[in-house]
Structure 1
Amino acid sequence: MSSISKDVLKTIEAVSGDGNNRVRVEFRRFSLPSNWFVAALAIPMLTALAISSYLTYVSVTASEIAGCTGGQLFDCAHVIYSKWSKVFGIPVSAMALGTYVAMIVAASVTCMKKLSSPVRLMAWSAVTGLAIAAALAALYFIYLQVFVLEHLCPWCLGAHACGLLIATAVLVSRTRIALPPLAAVSSLAAAGLAVMIGVQVNSEEVQMYETIDYVPTANAASGDDSTFAVAPEDFENAPVDDGMMLLPPGDDDLFMPPMDEEFEDEEDDSIETPSEDTSESDDDVAAVQVSQLRSLAKSGVDAACQLAAVRSPLASLMILQQSSQQEKEEASEADADADSEQDDADDQADSEDQNDAEAKKKPKQEKPEPRIVEFMGRKLNAHQWPVDGSPTAKYVFVEMFDYTCSHCRSTSEAIFKVKERMGDDLAVVVLPVPMNSRCNGAIKVDHLAHAEACEISTLAIAVWRCDPAKFSEFHKWLLDGKDAPSFAEALAKANEMVGEERLDKERKKKTAGAYVQRHCMMYKMLNGGAVPKLLFPKQAVQGAFTGVDALENLIKEQAGR
């Protein structure tokens, strides 16, 4: 009893109907905590208050959450911008803020010994009820994060941990209140939580996106009317990998894709070049070796024998003799085959004339007419970029996204549903933009969820280049489910679809990586920011767009010819 004040006892008199019998019942109703105990509870109370204040600010201002964005497991934005984060439009963090403010005020009143005991008891009863309410809400929101949203918010979990700690300390301490009032405050807290759950369950899904209108700003000096952060002349300053050079937009702001010729590897010289020497005798020797080397090359001797010849005079003599003998044998064989080859040549000439006549009858394959797609003041030819659907579709728009981004995956699910409705009338120009600084210089902080984003994006482009007809299937497979496949899984699927040898040959080129670099450059010109980005001629939508009906209406309004 040393740590608490004297028990407050109350007498309840129950009077029977006839007034003859009186029953006096005494029971311990409340015990006041010591000031030290309340001071210890102030630490988690103030911590929860600070976290709730920050989360309220973030929710109201739609600011980025420090240290918790875009992760596959930890993604605060996915939690605090969901429909479970508000009640009647009020952020639950604001309600938590009010709860902890009231709890701190009530705890302060409990410690004021100058006040009467009934007032202090009422204050401590309020602390107990608020602590129970905070604990019940914490359990509910932890359940939502783990089983419904499947993403965790560390800031939120910190506040929930404080609420559970406070409630546990109050209930298991020696300052417990008696059963009847405890049951009353617990029931009141549970009722409030039930109302909140009912409101959230029946509320509509919150759309986590923003719309940006393109407004051209005329520039008389340069003639540029774009609102982008990076001008075309700054392309050479863009971060690129392996020394790749990005081409600026073409005429009329038309983005040009990378060409294979830009990335052809130079063939290695298999013949070692003799080193120069200043002595006259060595120069003469070198001249003889070079002359021998040329003779051997003309005779068809392989590179290994050529190197042996120039390094050893004896080997040179042996090889020359062998080469002379081979020339004689080849000459005799050539004379024997000359007559038969002449006959074959006559027959082949007749066949070629016939094939030429048939070829002239066949119409030449013409290049498809360019399908120019405009997006935020820029243009590209849909035939030259990865497309999910037909470039000639009635509605075509551009999508920037990351295969490892959770919001991109949920938005893609909505896009696929709209494509099922619209059929061949809809196509999407697919521009993977990895959220990883290894291949995207606009990214400043890397997250574990995007560790393989560069490899997966480049692989998708390689599949498109190998077989455009199978790209849509592979693209949809990569975005199927809530979690992105690993690069090893994606590579195995790609090998299965287009063939391992064919894909390996394409991956050894730099062209697929160059496409990804172009995508990242466009992303940077659009001021970076959140993905996915749905780009239309005069409008861009960035963030998770999961409303199928709203998305269909937006496409028909913005993406038509």
Structure 2
Amino acid sequence: MTAALLAGAASGAYSLVSADGGTPLAGCDVIAGGDCDAVLQSPWATWAGLPVSKLGFGLYCAFGAGWLLVPLGGPIGRIGWWLVDICVPAALGGAPWFIALQAVAVGHWCVWCLVVHACGVLAALLAILLRHAASRQAAPSRPVLANLLMTQPGSRTRPASQWFAAPPGLGVPTAIGVLGLVALVGVQIFYPPQRFEVLTDLPAELDFDLAADRPSTGPAIAQGGGFDSGPLAMDQADAQEQEDADSSPGVEGFTPPAIPAGPPRRPLGERVIQVLDGKLRLNAYDHPILGSPEAQYVVVEIMDYACSECRKTQPLIFEALQRFDGKVAVVVLPWPTDVLCNSYVKKPKPEGRGSCRLVQLAIAVARADPDAFAAYHAWLTRDPKKAAKFMSARIEAEKFVDVNSLRREYDDPKTEQLRQQYIELFAQLAQGRNLRLPCQIVGNSIVSGAPENLESLIEVWEKHLGIKASPAP
């Protein structure tokens, strides 16, 4: 039991310290679907604003303290049994609850969290057995091998009553533990954590001007090659993907969602938008946009095509744009979660592979034909469960825009520069805070995470833009 408590506490402490320090946890990809960061940074990793990992570590500390006090006997030993009896139902009930959340709500596994839960269940079961043994004074307090080594020949094994204080009744401490478990689960069910969180405290050091032709200030890393060559071009996996591209769903039969036209574009137009109290400035004509750059209100979204939550959000954005009748447009700043071009990604993830090229391709489509971007963006995000592959996306892009224009814009250094600027912008916004994709900038507020439904998205836009949406049809 001591080993189980120590192993669980050590695993919990490691995940807690790593998560607080922003250091990726080792060994998280040893099982299919393993992604410790996704679990520990998910909204379900908090309870009433407190990190669940801290609550779990506190439970282990209480469990361990009780286990150390039990052998002291007398009133102190009874206090130890109280602590143990309180922790047992919490450990037995909390483990399956959080494992179910990983499987159903998060969709990823945290290996270290599973170790914590397994050790907690093991310690709880051993505590039940030892409590029963101590109550009946019939079982040794230590492993059989230890008793054999420490017992003189001809002597009898010391009964549990000589090692443990007589345990108190189960009623009160067990009831406290059960009530704690009910509170834990009940709060997360009836007051679920906010997945769509509005942050009003702005980064103090932020001063980002996307309206200026500014050079990239990020670290020097591999930036990729041209449309048909270089590090971002076809590799072996892409070659296999291209063989299957003809059989993958294309734009034929795909109907992009309608967007209200809004005010017409101006030839060679320029419209500088200032958000976040002027800390972020951008020219609405220079970036991918859903709607008109002359719309009365402009929302800025940072997303990644490899992010499932981002893809789930896009249909809601298209519906919201219809409800605002062309008064709102959304500037889309794609942020690749691929270490090939994004040095701020500390741990590569399989789903992020190729997102550098997808982002550059989407920006190239927007620059080649701004009016075609919305339909292509909708095609890229059409499947919430599966990200588009680069080769398929490239083939389909040539159906949305002129291939020569697409190649020219993809190879233009300005396209790559925009991609790097988007990377640096989100890194500055996320500095010192747990900012999740998709991320929206609505007026002077930053909105982190995916909305639960269309109405929650519209409610945020109405509140922070100061306008009203049309009634639902």
2:223 pairs with 1:241: yes
Measured against aligned partners, the alpha-carbon deviations of 1:252-295 in whole angstroms (never above 9, x if no partner) come to xxxxxxxx9xxxxxxxxxxxxxxxxxxxxxxxxxxxxxxxxxxx
1:139 deviates by 0.9
Q: Pairwise mapping of residues 225-264 of structure 1 onto structure 2 (< 5 A)?
A: 226=207, 235=216, 239=220, 241=223
CA distance in 2: counterparts of 1:103 and 1:453, whole angstroms? 45
- Contact 1:402–1:434 at 8 Å: present in 2 too? yes
Matched residue type, 2:109: L
- Contact 2:295–2:329 at 8 Å: present in 1 too? yes
- Partner residue, 2:462: 553
Runs of 5+ in structure 1 lacking a partner? Answer: 1-40, 218-225, 245-259, 261-364
Q: Say which is worse superposed, 170-179 or 137-146, in terms of deviation.
A: 170-179
1:437 to 339, 364, 385: 339
Tell me the TM-score normalized by structure 1: 0.55
CA distance in 1: counterparts of 2:441 and 2:106, whole angstroms? 27
- Partner residue, 2:116: 159
Runs of 5+ in structure 2 lacking a partner? Answer: 137-167, 228-264, 468-473
Q: Pairwise mapping of residues 265-280 of structure 1 onto structure 2 (< 5 A)?
A: none
CA distance in 2: counterparts of 1:526 and 1:130, whole angstroms? 41
Q: Pairwise mapping of residues 54-69 of structure 1 onto structure 2 (< 5 A)?
A: 64=22, 66-67=24-25
1:166 deviates by 1.3
Measured on the aligned residues, the alpha-carbon RMSD in Å equals 4.6
Matched residue type, 1:198: G
CA distance in 2: counterparts of 1:243 and 1:501, whole angstroms? 21
1:202 deviates by 1.3
- Contact 1:395–1:555 at 8 Å: present in 2 too? no
- Partner residue, 1:544: 449
2:273 to 370, 373, 382: 373
1:460 to 362, 366, 372: 362
Report the 3-state secondary structure (helix = DSSP H, G, I; strand = E; otherwise coil) of the residue aligned with 1:383.
coil
- Contact 2:312–2:384 at 8 Å: present in 1 too? yes
- Contact 2:305–2:388 at 8 Å: present in 1 too? no
Measured against aligned partners, the alpha-carbon deviations of 1:356-398 in whole angstroms (never above 9, x if no partner) come to xxxxxxxxx9825433323554544323332111222111233
1:521 deviates by 2.3
CA distance in 2: counterparts of 1:177 and 1:215, whole angstroms? 59
1:486 deviates by 3.8
Query: Taking structure 1 as reference, are residues 399 and 95 closer, same or farther at Cα in structure 2, changes over 3 Å only?
Result: closer
CA distance in 2: counterparts of 1:176 and 1:545, whole angstroms? 51
Matched residue type, 2:22: E
Query: Taking structure 1 as reference, are residues 149 and 442 closer, same or farther at Cα in structure 2, changes over 3 Å only?
Result: closer
1:453 deviates by 0.8
Percent identity reads 25
- Contact 1:387–1:428 at 8 Å: present in 2 too? yes
- Contact 1:45–1:166 at 8 Å: present in 2 too? yes
- Contact 2:300–2:331 at 8 Å: present in 1 too? yes
Report the 3-state secondary structure (helix = DSSP H, G, I; strand = E; otherwise coil) of the residue aligned with 1:439.
coil
- Contact 1:74–1:154 at 8 Å: present in 2 too? yes
Q: Pairwise mapping of residues 18-33 of structure 1 onto structure 2 (< 5 A)?
A: none
Q: Pairwise mapping of residues 431-510 of structure 1 onto structure 2 (< 5 A)?
A: 431-443=333-345, 445-465=347-367, 467-480=369-382, 482-487=384-389, 491-492=391-392, 495-496=395-396, 498-499=398-399, 502-503=402-403, 506-507=406-407, 510=410
CA distance in 2: counterparts of 1:242 and 1:56, whole angstroms? 36
2:31 pairs with 1:93: no
Measured against aligned partners, the alpha-carbon deviations of 1:467-526 in whole angstroms (never above 9, x if no partner) come to 5444213313433454441415xx436645753995487347644774243231254256
Please state which structure has a larger fraction of its residues in helix.
1
Tell me the TM-score normalized by structure 2: 0.64
CA distance in 2: counterparts of 1:454 and 1:414, whole angstroms? 24
CA distance in 2: counterparts of 1:133 and 1:215, whole angstroms? 41
1:169 to 108, 119, 126: 126
1:201 deviates by 1.3
1:108 to 62, 68, 86: 68
Report the 3-state secondary structure (helix = DSSP H, G, I; strand = E; otherwise coil) of the residue aligned with 2:373.
helix
CA distance in 2: counterparts of 1:412 and 1:101, whole angstroms? 44
Matched residue type, 1:161: A
CA distance in 1: counterparts of 2:280 and 2:172, whole angstroms? 65
2:189 pairs with 1:201: yes
Which of the two has higher C-alpha Rg? Answer: 1
2:202 pairs with 1:213: yes
